């Protein structure tokens, strides 16, 4: 059983961390169901375990929080769907890379429902879209923008943190950091791509695709996948 939690308004980051800590402990103790939490945050930056201080370009622009998850600096704010994923890998197969691939597949399948082709890239965290409307890079490669971030933490094989998908955030807010330490590519959103998608639209598809990709109550079976995941822990 997975409980779906939806929060209206903007949830303060410390409140979200406290909730996840308590829920993960309860799941681990067999006292609570797994949970997927859909929310938005006020504008803020989070620092993952691999964050480099030089990538915090404007430290006074928004509050900065130590997240404890994998990855580097990430922005969260209004117009971005944050999905915190509290799942028990003891029941779903203790395979971290497989689990992250499932998260990637979940995001990619969700984007595909809106005719957006999301892709993963070796050495680059998150989900990316090509931008044929923009000039190619110096090496001639097509321009690419990041549309979704992935970062998780495990405690006793129960996951928390999760994914974020840009629906209609203020993309200028990403300018205060080097998102995930990647300087050569930008960020985008569904609305920036010309798609008038609402949060409700996205949430409905997220739930549908989760049920298709995650076989609840049993071990995760992975398809043929890359040699290594593009996420860090």
Condensed to tens digits (0 to 9), the pLDDT of residues 18-31 reads 999 999 999 999 99
Domain that holds residue 57: 3-214
Share of the chain above pLDDT 90, in %: 75
User: Do residues 111 and 127 make contact, with C-beta atoms less than 8 angstroms apart?
Assistant: yes
44: helix, coil or strand? strand
Is 228 part of a structural domain of the chain?
A: no
Would you say the pTM of this structure is higher than 0.85? yes
43: helix, coil or strand? coil
Is 106 part of a structural domain of the chain?
A: yes
Q: Between 143 and 173, name the one with better pLDDT.
A: 173
Is 223 part of a structural domain of the chain?
A: no
Is 219 part of a structural domain of the chain?
A: no
Annotated catalytic residues are: 180
Q: Which residues are annotated as a binding site?
A: 69-76, 149-151, 162-164
Mean pLDDT check: name the lowest of 25-29, 83-87, 128-132, 223-227: 223-227
d(Cα 54, Cα 177) in Å, to the nearest integer? 9
Is 111 part of a structural domain of the chain?
A: yes
84: helix, coil or strand? strand
Q: How many domains does the chain have?
A: 1
Q: Which residues are annotated as a binding site for substrate?
A: 69-76, 149-151, 162-164
124: helix, coil or strand? strand
d(Cα 103, Cα 85) in Å, to the nearest integer? 9
Strand-by-strand arrangement of the 44-47 sheet: 64-66, 44-47, 73-76
Is 118 part of a structural domain of the chain?
A: yes
How many CB atoms are closer than 10 A to CB 25? Answer: 14
CATH code, domain carrying 47: 3.30.930.10
- Residues in contact with 22: Cβ distance below 8 Å, sequence separation at least 6, in sequence order: none
Q: What are phi and psi of 217, to 5 degrees?
A: 85, 0
Is 19 part of a structural domain of the chain?
A: yes
Longest Cα pair distance anywhere in the chain, in angstroms? 54
Is 92 part of a structural domain of the chain?
A: yes
């Amino acid at each position: 059983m997975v409980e779906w939690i939806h929060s209206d308004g903007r949830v303060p980051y410390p409140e979200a961390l406290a909730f996840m800590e308590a829920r993960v402990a309860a799941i681990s103790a067999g006292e609570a169901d797994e949970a997927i939490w859909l929310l938005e945050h006020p504008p803020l930056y989070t620092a993952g375990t691999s964050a480099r201080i030089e990538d915090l370009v404007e430290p006074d622009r928004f509050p900065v929080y130590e997240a404890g998850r994998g990855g580097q600096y990430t922005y969260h704010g209004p117009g971005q769907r944050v999905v915190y994923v509290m799942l028990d890998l003891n029941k779903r197969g203790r395979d971290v890379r497989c689990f992250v691939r499932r998260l990637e597949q979940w995001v990619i399948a969700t984007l595909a429902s809106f005719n957006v082709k999301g892709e993963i890239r070796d050495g680059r965290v998150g989900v990316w879209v090509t931008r044929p409307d923009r000039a190619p890079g110096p090496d001639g490669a097509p321009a690419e923008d990041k549309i979704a971030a992935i970062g998780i933490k495990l405690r006793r094989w129960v996951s928390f943190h999760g994914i974020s998908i840009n629906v209609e955030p203020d993309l200028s807010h990403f300018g205060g950091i080097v998102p995930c330490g990647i300087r050569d590519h930008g960020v985008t959103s569904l609305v920036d791509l010309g798609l008038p998608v609402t949060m409700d639209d996205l949430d409905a598809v997220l739930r549908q695709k989760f049920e298709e990709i995650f076989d609840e109550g049993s071990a995760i079976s992975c398809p043929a996948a890359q040699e290594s995941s593009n996420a860090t822990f």
